[in-house]
């Protein structure tokens, strides 16, 4: 699995731990409750522990969707484009360059 190189919670890089079940990664202090040390052996993130399905790409329309419910840029909701590889979501106008419409097929975030 190709893991994201930033924390799922704060969106920053640095020393992160990787989920053994999905591509998500976290800082120890960003977990709730935070961890004091990296766990030994296999570790699953809070979303996987809660039974979250792996991320898939589509416009957020369903309550059970595990993508972010807010735009990674503006930090608010609305009609969002979801990455096919990670839980990130974006407004099409927040991308650089902005998109005029939601693309057909697979889409990977920048």
Predicted confidence (pLDDT) per residue in 9-33, tens digit: 898 889 999 998 889 999 999 998 8
Q: Return the bridge partners of 82, or none.
A: 89
Are residues 107 and 57 in contact, defined by beta-carbon separation less than 8 angstroms? yes
End-to-end CA, the chain: 18
Predicted confidence (pLDDT) per residue in 29-78, tens digit: 999 888 899 889 999 988 888 775 555 444 444 445 577 777 888 877 78
Predicted confidence at residue 109, as pLDDT, reads 86
Residue 3 has pLDDT above 70, yes or no: yes
Higher pLDDT, 52 or 5: 5
Q: Write the CB contacts of 86 (distance below 8 Å, at least 6 apart in sequence).
A: 4, 23, 24, 55, 109
Predicted confidence at residue 17, as pLDDT, reads 94
Predicted confidence at residue 13, as pLDDT, reads 87
Predicted confidence at residue 65, as pLDDT, reads 57
Residues 1-52: name the CATH superfamily: Zinc/RING finger domain, C3HC4 (zinc finger) (3.30.40.10)
- Residue 26 per-residue DSSP state: E
Higher pLDDT, 8 or 59: 8
The domain locations on the chain are 1-52, 55-110
Predicted confidence at residue 63, as pLDDT, reads 44
Query: What tokens were used for 83?
Result: 């990455």
CATH number of 55-110: 3.30.40.10
């Amino acid at each position: 699995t190709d893991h994201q190189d930033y924390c799922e919670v704060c969106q920053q890089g640095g020393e992160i731990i990787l989920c053994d079940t999905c591509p998500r990664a976290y800082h120890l202090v960003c977990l709730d409750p935070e961890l004091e040390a990296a766990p030994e052996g296999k570790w699953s993130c809070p979303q996987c522990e809660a039974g979250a399905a792996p991320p898939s790409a589509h416009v957020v329309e369903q309550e059970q969707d595990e993508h972010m419910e807010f735009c990674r840029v503006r930090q608010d909701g609305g009609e969002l484009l979801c990455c096919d590889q990670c839980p990130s979501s974006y407004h099409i106008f927040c991308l650089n360059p902005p998109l005029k419409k939601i693309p057909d097929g697979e889409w990977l975030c920048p």
